[in-house]
Structure 1
Amino acid sequence: MSLCISKRTSRLLAALLAVLMTAALSTACGSDDDSGSGGGSAPDKVTYITGFGTFGREAYAYVAQDKGYFSDAGVTVTIQPGQGSGNSLAALAGGSAQFAPVDLSSTIMQLGDGKVSGVTAVAAVHQTTDAAVMALADSGISKPADLEGKKIADPAGSVIGALFPAYAKLAGIDAKKVEFVALEAQQLGVNLATGSVDAVGQYRVGRPNIENAVKGKEVVVLPFGEYLTESYGAAITTTTKIAEDDPDLVKRFTGALFKGMRYAIDHPDEAAALMAEKFPTLNKETAAAEIELVGTAVQPKEDGAPIGTMDRERVAGAIKALEDAGAVQPGLTPEELVSFDLVPKS
């Protein structure tokens, strides 16, 4: 049996085929843009862990979220309170988070000793190490040598405790003559105020929290940066896989995050109020004071350099200082620590 098709039917079939091919091409072209960077495509979803808790110093991430900077960059961000550098590195390496501000010295020590792998820094938060020891002025502690024979409280696993031997060696004191006791971050100020401990480990930007806890008593700050001069503080850290496979995501995320940083620094009271609204137990005045200190900590030394910049020679110097102090095994290179092609540039 033969099948006969009229000329009219042939023309109709040809027209229908053309319509279907046009629709298919349109769909295919649309899928090429489905990169999560805008244009109506689905945003990338990431988890960000704060440096530590929900203190005022962490406001910039919440500002970036609240102001829509992340969504404008095509990124949906879940923010989780952090518990220190060690936990953050473990979360990144384990895949439960994609970005976190991690103390660069902690990353040097853990990468250099093989305790963690598959992570890389992509931008500096603090241009110098923020680690410090704080004491009351009437305690008799005014210089590193005064710490010998004293008791310092610090959260378990804190980078300050991990860095202390290197700091002590460079400062010319015996770290073995200093006793460290583990306390939760929220307990540090109270125990310092009551005299239960002689000093506490604390980031410099956390000084307002300590001053608030000791209720007006004068606080002495011994910054590690006086001796660890090449070190950066916290650095935005991700996995090497994300850095290599999706550098555009890294740049969009850090760009939005630092936009939140700039806004928080320019509007500390507003940023503090935002944090207090999210976390009602937060003291707004203390939070605003911390944000102002962050503003000084993030400013690059080089004129015209953007927030987040990192210098290869300085990173090499930071590694060498920790090697010389016996805090890390030799061999780690700056490129194994930092993805310099992703670091913010002028």
Structure 2
Amino acid sequence: MPLPRATRRAVLGAALASPFIRPASAQALTPIRFILDWKAQGPHAWYYVAQSRGYFREAGLDVTIDQGEGSAAAVTRVMSGAYDAGFGDINAVIQNAAGRPGEQPVMVYLVYNRAPYAIISRADGPVRTLKDLEGRQVGAPAGSATARMFPALAARNGVDPSKVRMAAIAPNLVEQMLVQGQVDAVAQFSGTSYMNFVGMGKDPEKDFRWFFYSDMGLDQYSNGVLVSQALLKNRPEAVRGLTTAINRAIQEVARNPDAGIAELKKVEPLTDTAIEKQRLLYMLRAQMTTPETGTLGLGDLSDKRLEGAIGTVVETYGLPRTPGVRDVFLRDFLPAREARLLPVVG
């Protein structure tokens, strides 16, 4: 119901004083085209919760969510103008900030504080160390951030990446091709493959070897909410509304994962709710709940650590310039720290 004129004046005055108040009834909704990094899975539940429960609308936004083709590809799609915002990889942002400064999307809310990148091989296969990848084939989805960051991992571990054959694989075939021996290893998000192996009746711990980038000298950040330069410059209030709505939904899903998976099921009726709940909890515990998020709150990051990550990407790819922290990440639109502290995930 529309607010009385006097009430609208009062609300508008409050909105000018507080950027968090944006009643949809007092202004037209800002359309936002939002792309995910992947097909809809458990760790995407909060985006659909924010949409279905009206959190985006309360923030003055009309958000359309599309599934993606890789976390690095999501960055490219936002930079191209096809999307206004998305969920993508900060390391791809760094590369674009170095090569095409002023055009790159900027991350405004970091979700995966610990990168979930992993090289995975079969326990009974020939790849027992990273060095064993030389002369062999590694499969990865096109647009994979894990594959894009492999040269950096190789440089840290004495592996010649030119001797490793990278094969593009359809996203739904990655784990299957590894299990069938059609590739010697895969470069994939750990949470994606871990639960896909479970769904295939495999034991992820016993049947496979896991080479986690974060355990092998590559302390990178990973995926988060990123926005286009146009949205940042022309609709800063929409950026703030986006981070506020998503943060609210993340907190709710962390407290009640079943409710988040129920929303996901509405979007993808064929969702295996048991598998996707496990995948959601895996990412919450392994990639989002860290000592750093306990101190800074989810969404924020350490400038010093990001500077190191930027240096790693610049050195690995021989980039023409070293972007600054604010070329890559802006904390200007984050909700208060207290609102971003994750509850203990059971």
1:90 aligns with 76
| Aligned-residue CA RMSD (Å) | 2.8
d(CA) in 2 for partners of 1:345, 1:300: 18
Please state how far the C-alpha of 1:103 moved relative to its aligned partner. Answer: 0.6
Is the deviation greater in 81-90 or in 289-298? 81-90
Equivalent residue in structure 2 for 1:268, among 249, 257, 260: 257
CA contact (8 A) 2:300 2:331 kept: no
Map of 1:243-258 to 2, 5 A cutoff?
Answer: 243-258=232-247
Please state how far the C-alpha of 1:86 moved relative to its aligned partner. Answer: 4.1
Is the deviation greater in 86-95 or in 47-56? 86-95
CA contact (8 A) 2:85 2:227 kept: yes
d(CA) in 1 for partners of 2:133, 2:196: 18
Counterpart code for 2:291: K
Normalising to structure 1: TM-score of the pair?
0.83
Does 1:315 pair with 2:306?
yes
Map of 1:101-140 to 2, 5 A cutoff?
Answer: 101-114=87-100, 117-140=103-126
Relative to 1, partners in 2 of residues 1:312 and 1:291: Cα closer, same or farther, differing over 3 Å?
A: same
Is the deviation greater in 251-260 or in 326-335? 326-335
1:301 aligns with 291
d(CA) in 2 for partners of 1:72, 1:235: 22
CA contact (8 A) 1:276 1:282 kept: yes
Relative to 1, partners in 2 of residues 1:68 and 1:129: Cα closer, same or farther, differing over 3 Å?
A: same
Counterpart code for 2:80: G
Equivalent residue in structure 1 for 2:138, among 152, 166, 184: 152
Please state how far the C-alpha of 1:67 moved relative to its aligned partner. Answer: 2.6
Is the deviation greater in 36-45 or in 290-299? 36-45
Does 1:279 pair with 2:268?
yes
CA contact (8 A) 2:147 2:188 kept: no
Is the deviation greater in 221-230 or in 105-114? 221-230
d(CA) in 2 for partners of 1:90, 1:116: 14
Please state how far the C-alpha of 1:279 moved relative to its aligned partner. Answer: 1.1
Equivalent residue in structure 2 for 1:239, among 228, 233, 244: 228
Does 1:40 pair with 2:25?
yes
1:52 aligns with 38
Please state how far the C-alpha of 1:321 moved relative to its aligned partner. Answer: 1.3
d(CA) in 1 for partners of 2:210, 2:271: 23
CA contact (8 A) 2:96 2:104 kept: no
Does 1:290 pair with 2:275?
no
d(CA) in 2 for partners of 1:146, 1:269: 41
CA contact (8 A) 1:306 1:344 kept: no
Relative to 1, partners in 2 of residues 1:328 and 1:132: Cα closer, same or farther, differing over 3 Å?
A: farther
Please state how far the C-alpha of 1:292 moved relative to its aligned partner. Answer: 0.5
Is the deviation greater in 192-201 or in 91-100? 91-100
The list of structure 1 runs, each at least 4 consecutive aligned residues, that deviate by more than 4 angstroms after superposition, is 28-36
CA contact (8 A) 1:316 1:333 kept: yes
CA contact (8 A) 1:310 1:343 kept: no
Relative to 1, partners in 2 of residues 1:327 and 1:60: Cα closer, same or farther, differing over 3 Å?
A: farther
d(CA) in 1 for partners of 2:212, 2:291: 18
Please state how far the C-alpha of 1:213 moved relative to its aligned partner. Answer: 5.2
d(CA) in 2 for partners of 1:278, 1:189: 24
Is the deviation greater in 317-326 or in 285-294? 317-326
CA contact (8 A) 2:144 2:188 kept: no
1:21 aligns with none
Relative to 1, partners in 2 of residues 1:220 and 1:264: Cα closer, same or farther, differing over 3 Å?
A: farther
1:182-230 deviations in whole A, cap 9, x for unaligned?
1111011111121111211211221333313542242322112224544
Number of aligned residues: 322
Relative to 1, partners in 2 of residues 1:120 and 1:68: Cα closer, same or farther, differing over 3 Å?
A: same
Counterpart code for 1:185: P
Is the deviation greater in 147-156 or in 177-186? 147-156
Equivalent residue in structure 2 for 1:171, among 157, 168, 176: 157
Normalising to structure 2: TM-score of the pair?
0.83
Counterpart code for 2:258: D
Per the alignment, in what secondary structure is the counterpart of residue 310 of structure 2?
helix
Per the alignment, in what secondary structure is the counterpart of residue 152 of structure 1?
strand
d(CA) in 2 for partners of 1:29, 1:60: 33
Q: Which has the larger radius of gyration?
A: 1
Per the alignment, in what secondary structure is the counterpart of residue 180 of structure 1?
strand
CA contact (8 A) 1:243 1:339 kept: no
